[in-house]
Amino acid sequence: MADFSLWDILRNLLLALRWTVVLSLIAFIGGGIVGALLLFLRLRGGKAIGKVVGLYVQLFQGTPLLMQLFLAYFGIALFGIDVSAWTAASVALTLYTSAFLTEIWRGCVASIPKGQWEASGSLALSFGEQLRHVILPQAVKIAIAPTVGFLVQVIKGTALASVIGFVELTKAGSMISNATFKPFVVFSCVALLYFVLCFPVSLYAKNLERKSHGRRA
Protein backbone atom coordinates (compact mmCIF):
# COMPACT_ATOMS: atom_id res chain seq x y z
CA MET A 1 0.00 0.00 0.00
CA ALA A 2 1.25 3.38 -1.03
CA ASP A 3 2.47 5.75 1.63
CA PHE A 4 0.50 8.92 2.13
CA SER A 5 2.53 12.04 2.66
CA LEU A 6 1.10 14.92 4.68
CA TRP A 7 0.59 16.76 1.41
CA ASP A 8 -1.44 13.87 0.02
CA ILE A 9 -3.66 14.01 3.04
CA LEU A 10 -4.07 17.75 2.87
CA ARG A 11 -4.67 17.76 -0.85
CA ASN A 12 -7.47 15.23 -0.55
CA LEU A 13 -8.98 17.09 2.37
CA LEU A 14 -8.85 20.34 0.45
CA LEU A 15 -10.73 18.70 -2.40
CA ALA A 16 -13.41 17.61 0.05
CA LEU A 17 -13.44 21.06 1.66
CA ARG A 18 -15.09 22.33 -1.53
CA TRP A 19 -18.19 20.31 -0.73
CA THR A 20 -18.28 21.62 2.81
CA VAL A 21 -18.23 25.14 1.40
CA VAL A 22 -20.86 24.38 -1.22
CA LEU A 23 -23.13 22.67 1.30
CA SER A 24 -22.71 25.61 3.70
CA LEU A 25 -23.61 28.05 0.95
CA ILE A 26 -26.66 26.02 -0.07
CA ALA A 27 -27.79 25.84 3.53
CA PHE A 28 -27.17 29.50 4.11
CA ILE A 29 -28.75 30.84 0.94
CA GLY A 30 -31.64 28.37 1.02
CA GLY A 31 -32.10 28.87 4.73
CA GLY A 32 -31.95 32.63 4.25
CA ILE A 33 -34.69 32.58 1.63
CA VAL A 34 -36.95 30.22 3.58
CA GLY A 35 -36.18 32.11 6.79
CA ALA A 36 -37.12 35.45 5.18
CA LEU A 37 -40.40 33.99 3.91
CA LEU A 38 -41.18 32.63 7.34
CA LEU A 39 -40.36 36.00 8.87
CA PHE A 40 -42.73 37.73 6.49
CA LEU A 41 -45.47 35.21 7.26
CA ARG A 42 -44.93 35.71 10.94
CA LEU A 43 -45.11 39.49 10.71
CA ARG A 44 -48.00 39.62 8.28
CA GLY A 45 -50.10 36.61 9.12
CA GLY A 46 -52.41 36.33 12.06
CA LYS A 47 -51.88 34.60 15.36
CA ALA A 48 -52.47 31.13 13.93
CA ILE A 49 -49.75 31.46 11.31
CA GLY A 50 -47.41 32.91 13.92
CA LYS A 51 -47.99 29.87 16.11
CA VAL A 52 -47.33 27.45 13.27
CA VAL A 53 -44.07 29.19 12.41
CA GLY A 54 -43.17 29.26 16.10
CA LEU A 55 -43.73 25.53 16.29
CA TYR A 56 -41.57 25.00 13.22
CA VAL A 57 -38.78 26.98 14.87
CA GLN A 58 -39.14 25.05 18.13
CA LEU A 59 -39.09 21.75 16.27
CA PHE A 60 -35.82 22.46 14.54
CA GLN A 61 -34.22 24.14 17.51
CA GLY A 62 -35.35 21.39 19.87
CA THR A 63 -34.04 18.37 17.96
CA PRO A 64 -30.46 17.47 17.10
CA LEU A 65 -29.37 18.33 13.59
CA LEU A 66 -28.16 14.73 13.31
CA MET A 67 -31.74 13.48 13.74
CA GLN A 68 -32.97 15.96 11.17
CA LEU A 69 -30.43 14.62 8.71
CA PHE A 70 -31.43 11.02 9.42
CA LEU A 71 -35.09 11.87 9.02
CA ALA A 72 -34.49 13.71 5.77
CA TYR A 73 -32.38 10.85 4.40
CA PHE A 74 -34.44 7.87 5.53
CA GLY A 75 -37.80 9.59 5.98
CA ILE A 76 -38.19 10.85 2.44
CA ALA A 77 -37.09 7.44 1.16
CA LEU A 78 -40.07 5.90 2.97
CA PHE A 79 -42.37 7.66 0.52
CA GLY A 80 -40.66 5.84 -2.31
CA ILE A 81 -38.69 8.88 -3.36
CA ASP A 82 -35.05 8.13 -3.91
CA VAL A 83 -32.99 10.79 -2.19
CA SER A 84 -29.29 11.25 -2.65
CA ALA A 85 -27.12 12.27 0.26
CA TRP A 86 -26.79 15.63 -1.49
CA THR A 87 -30.52 16.27 -1.53
CA ALA A 88 -31.09 15.04 2.00
CA ALA A 89 -28.24 17.10 3.41
CA SER A 90 -29.29 20.21 1.47
CA VAL A 91 -32.92 19.92 2.56
CA ALA A 92 -32.13 19.21 6.20
CA LEU A 93 -29.54 21.95 6.52
CA THR A 94 -31.71 24.48 4.69
CA LEU A 95 -34.64 23.86 7.00
CA TYR A 96 -32.41 23.87 10.07
CA THR A 97 -30.80 27.17 9.01
CA SER A 98 -34.14 28.75 8.12
CA ALA A 99 -35.51 28.03 11.59
CA PHE A 100 -32.59 29.70 13.31
CA LEU A 101 -32.36 32.65 10.93
CA THR A 102 -36.06 33.42 11.05
CA GLU A 103 -35.84 33.50 14.84
CA ILE A 104 -32.75 35.71 14.85
CA TRP A 105 -34.35 38.10 12.40
CA ARG A 106 -37.66 38.16 14.22
CA GLY A 107 -35.79 39.31 17.29
CA CYS A 108 -34.12 42.07 15.28
CA VAL A 109 -37.43 43.28 13.87
CA ALA A 110 -39.00 43.12 17.33
CA SER A 111 -36.21 45.30 18.70
CA ILE A 112 -37.27 48.20 16.45
CA PRO A 113 -39.37 50.53 18.62
CA LYS A 114 -43.12 50.25 18.17
CA GLY A 115 -43.22 53.98 17.46
CA GLN A 116 -41.54 53.36 14.10
CA TRP A 117 -44.45 51.14 13.03
CA GLU A 118 -46.96 53.64 14.39
CA ALA A 119 -45.36 56.69 12.79
CA SER A 120 -45.02 55.03 9.39
CA GLY A 121 -48.53 53.61 9.66
CA SER A 122 -49.95 57.03 10.49
CA LEU A 123 -48.31 58.36 7.35
CA ALA A 124 -50.49 55.91 5.39
CA LEU A 125 -47.63 53.61 4.37
CA SER A 126 -48.76 50.09 3.53
CA PHE A 127 -47.37 47.12 5.44
CA GLY A 128 -44.91 46.34 2.67
CA GLU A 129 -43.74 49.96 2.50
CA GLN A 130 -43.33 50.14 6.26
CA LEU A 131 -41.25 47.00 6.21
CA ARG A 132 -39.12 47.96 3.24
CA HIS A 133 -38.48 51.63 3.91
CA VAL A 134 -38.65 51.96 7.68
CA ILE A 135 -38.34 48.71 9.61
CA LEU A 136 -35.97 46.53 7.59
CA PRO A 137 -33.27 49.15 6.96
CA GLN A 138 -32.96 49.50 10.72
CA ALA A 139 -33.38 45.80 11.52
CA VAL A 140 -30.80 44.69 8.95
CA LYS A 141 -28.16 46.80 10.64
CA ILE A 142 -28.77 44.95 13.89
CA ALA A 143 -29.13 41.56 12.20
CA ILE A 144 -25.86 41.42 10.25
CA ALA A 145 -23.59 40.50 13.13
CA PRO A 146 -25.65 37.64 14.62
CA THR A 147 -26.45 36.35 11.13
CA VAL A 148 -22.81 36.12 10.14
CA GLY A 149 -22.09 34.61 13.53
CA PHE A 150 -24.64 31.90 12.86
CA LEU A 151 -22.94 31.10 9.56
CA VAL A 152 -20.14 29.58 11.64
CA GLN A 153 -22.64 27.20 13.26
CA VAL A 154 -23.88 26.16 9.83
CA ILE A 155 -20.37 25.47 8.53
CA LYS A 156 -19.63 23.26 11.51
CA GLY A 157 -23.08 21.69 11.21
CA THR A 158 -22.28 20.40 7.74
CA ALA A 159 -19.86 17.94 9.37
CA LEU A 160 -22.87 15.93 10.45
CA ALA A 161 -23.82 15.33 6.85
CA SER A 162 -20.99 12.79 6.84
CA VAL A 163 -23.19 10.30 8.71
CA ILE A 164 -25.54 9.96 5.76
CA GLY A 165 -22.63 9.33 3.46
CA PHE A 166 -22.16 12.81 2.11
CA VAL A 167 -18.47 13.18 1.29
CA GLU A 168 -17.47 16.51 2.70
CA LEU A 169 -14.52 17.41 4.88
CA THR A 170 -15.30 15.18 7.86
CA LYS A 171 -16.31 12.15 5.79
CA ALA A 172 -13.21 12.54 3.65
CA GLY A 173 -11.19 12.73 6.84
CA SER A 174 -12.51 9.45 8.15
CA MET A 175 -12.03 7.77 4.79
CA ILE A 176 -8.44 8.95 4.58
CA SER A 177 -7.80 8.01 8.16
CA ASN A 178 -9.07 4.48 7.42
CA ALA A 179 -6.66 4.26 4.52
CA THR A 180 -3.64 5.78 6.21
CA PHE A 181 -4.04 4.59 9.80
CA LYS A 182 -3.01 8.07 10.90
CA PRO A 183 -6.23 9.28 12.48
CA PHE A 184 -4.57 11.88 14.67
CA VAL A 185 -2.75 13.57 11.82
CA VAL A 186 -5.75 13.40 9.53
CA PHE A 187 -8.29 14.73 12.00
CA SER A 188 -5.89 17.44 13.13
CA CYS A 189 -5.79 18.56 9.51
CA VAL A 190 -9.60 18.35 9.32
CA ALA A 191 -9.96 20.47 12.44
CA LEU A 192 -7.42 22.95 11.14
CA LEU A 193 -9.32 23.35 7.89
CA TYR A 194 -12.61 23.96 9.71
CA PHE A 195 -10.82 26.55 11.77
CA VAL A 196 -9.37 28.24 8.72
CA LEU A 197 -12.86 28.43 7.29
CA CYS A 198 -14.67 29.55 10.42
CA PHE A 199 -12.17 31.85 12.07
CA PRO A 200 -12.29 34.66 9.49
CA VAL A 201 -16.07 34.47 9.50
CA SER A 202 -16.35 34.87 13.26
CA LEU A 203 -13.71 37.56 13.22
CA TYR A 204 -15.78 39.38 10.65
CA ALA A 205 -18.91 38.93 12.76
CA LYS A 206 -17.14 40.32 15.82
CA ASN A 207 -15.94 43.25 13.80
CA LEU A 208 -19.42 44.00 12.54
CA GLU A 209 -20.81 43.75 16.02
CA ARG A 210 -18.29 46.20 17.35
CA LYS A 211 -19.03 48.61 14.53
CA SER A 212 -22.78 48.50 14.98
CA HIS A 213 -22.43 49.00 18.73
CA GLY A 214 -20.13 51.92 18.11
CA ARG A 215 -22.65 53.45 15.75
CA ARG A 216 -25.48 53.20 18.18
CA ALA A 217 -23.59 54.40 21.22
Partner 1 sequence: MAAVLEPQQQPATSVGSPIVRITALRKSYGTNEVLKGIDLDVKRGEVIAIIGKSGSGKSTLLRCINGLEVFQEGSLTVDGKPLLHESAMAMRELRQRVGMIFQSFNLFPHLTVGRNVMLAPTLVKKRSSLEAASQARKLLARVGLAEKFDAMPDQLSGGQQQRVAIARALAMEPAVLLCDEITSALDPELVGEVLRVVESLADEGMTLLMVTHEMSFARKVSDRVIFMHQGRVHEMGPPAELFGNPQTAELKQFLSSLHD
Q: Per CB under 8 A, which region of 3-11, 16-24, 41-49, 117-125 contacts partner 1?
A: 117-125
In the list 58, 126, 178, 207, the residue contacting partner 1 (rule: CB under 8 A) is 126
Residue 181 falls in which region: left (phi positive, over 0), alpha (psi -120 to 50) or beta:
left
Q: How far is the CB of 130 from partner 1 (least distance, A)?
A: 10
Can residue 212 be called a binding residue for partner 1 (CB under 8 A)? Answer: no
Q: How many helices (H) and strands (E) does the chain have?
A: 10, 0
From 4-12, 112-120, 152-160, 192-200, give the range in contact with partner 1 by CB under 8 A.
Answer: 112-120
- Total residues contacting partner 1 (rule CB under 8 A)? 19
Contact range with partner 1 by CB under 8 A, out of 64-72, 100-108, 131-139, 175-183: 131-139
Q: Is 5 buried (19+), middle (13-18) or exposed (0-12) by CB count in 10 A?
A: exposed
Asked if 198 contacts 21 with a C-beta cutoff of 8 angstroms, the reply is no
116 vs 202, which CB is nearer to partner 1?
Answer: 116
Q: Which of the residues 39 through 58 are near partner 1 (CB under 8 A)?
A: none
Residue 50, classified by CB atoms within 10 Å of its CB into exposed (0-12), middle (13-18) or buried (19+), is middle
144 near partner 1 (CB under 8 A) = no
Q: Decide: is 113 part of the binding site for partner 1 (CB under 8 A).
A: yes
Q: Which of 133/210 has CB closer to partner 1? A: 133
CA distance 40 to 48: 14
Q: Which residues contact 76 (CB under 8 A, 6 or more apart)?
A: 83, 87, 88, 91
**Interacting residue ranges for partner 1, rule: CB under 8 A:** 113, 115-116, 118-127, 129, 133-134, 137-138, 141
